[in-house]
Structure 1
């Protein structure tokens, strides 16, 4: 038995809430094998030795073709959720960027659209909807999907 037995190990993801007034950008997932057909925020996992804000800027460039400065990102929600494993999702709001969002990964995304925060589309990835609900309510932290 190792010292790590029984300790939780969580995957950390970053999610971009690209905000223009009361609207945010969402993409419809395709050909990924997970959540296909559902709307979701631009997001991704960190690479080895990559801090969260670097991941956020890289994913914004890769998925949307825009440039964001890490200093313009504001942490607005943390969601500790369980879906097959423990995950910690960090949600960052960005209101200033360079470029116009474009679909730079058409093999994974059917397209990006702007939606009002009060009129989110369906179907949508469940934990992202929960996080956006918490974000609108001003809650910094939430939990979802943990076995009882």
Structure 2
């Protein structure tokens, strides 16, 4: 009997301020250190994607988001260069409570506000793909799949 396909679900939060997005510079994680990403993390058992977005924003950048202020941005079916599939659920928010701070200095070197349409060259490609799909108003896209890649 074939084993059922299983995939990791990541949840990403696009915190927008005017035409800028908040990015976290990865450090000490062992994955893409020195690259920018969004506040994000893995969906945990018993948690909704909304709960995860709220939790990750609080844990990583110290802001509180009312789940009603999360707007679905896009979904990305990602295949890592190592061949590991993931589903990324991206939310956008332009309203939150508190000032963003680096709440996880062991995993993040710094925070920066970057132009939403001009991300730094060292933005994690998966992150950049999600933001590009969001800006293009594409509801669901793929990234990293050799024959299907659209971003």
- With the shorter chain as reference, the TM-score category is over 0.9
Specify the SS of the correspondent of 2:134.
helix
Would you say the 8 A contact 1:8–1:86 is kept in 2?
no
The answer as to whether partners of 1:27 and 1:113 remain within 8 angstroms in 2 is: yes
Aligned-pair CA distance for 1:138: 1.2
Q: Which runs of 5+ in 2 are unaligned?
A: none
Counting only pairs closer than 5 Å after superposition, residues 14-93 of structure 1 correspond to structure 2 as 14-83=11-80, 84-93=83-92
Match of 1:142 in 2: 141
4+ aligned runs moved over 6 Å, structure 1: none
Shift of 1:59: 0.7
Q: 2:45 and 2:136 mapped to 1: Cα distance?
A: 33
User: What displacement does 1:32 show?
Assistant: 0.3
* Number of aligned residue pairs: 145
Q: Which position in structure 1 is the counterpart of 2:5?
A: 8
The answer as to whether partners of 1:16 and 1:42 remain within 8 angstroms in 2 is yes
Tell me the equivalent position of 2:130: 131
Q: Determine helix, strand or coil for the equivalent of 2:52.
A: helix
Question: Cα offset for 1:147?
Answer: 4.7
Q: Provide the C-alpha distance between the structure 1 equivalents of 2:71 and 2:146, rounded to a whole number of angstroms.
A: 30
Distance in 2, Cα, partners of 1:122 & 1:145: 17
Q: Distance in 1 between matches of 2:117 and 2:146?
A: 30
Q: Secondary structure at 2:46's aligned position in 1?
A: coil
Tell me the SS of whatever aligns to 2:90: strand
TM-score by length of 2: 0.92
Structure 1: any 5+ residue segments left out of the alignment? none
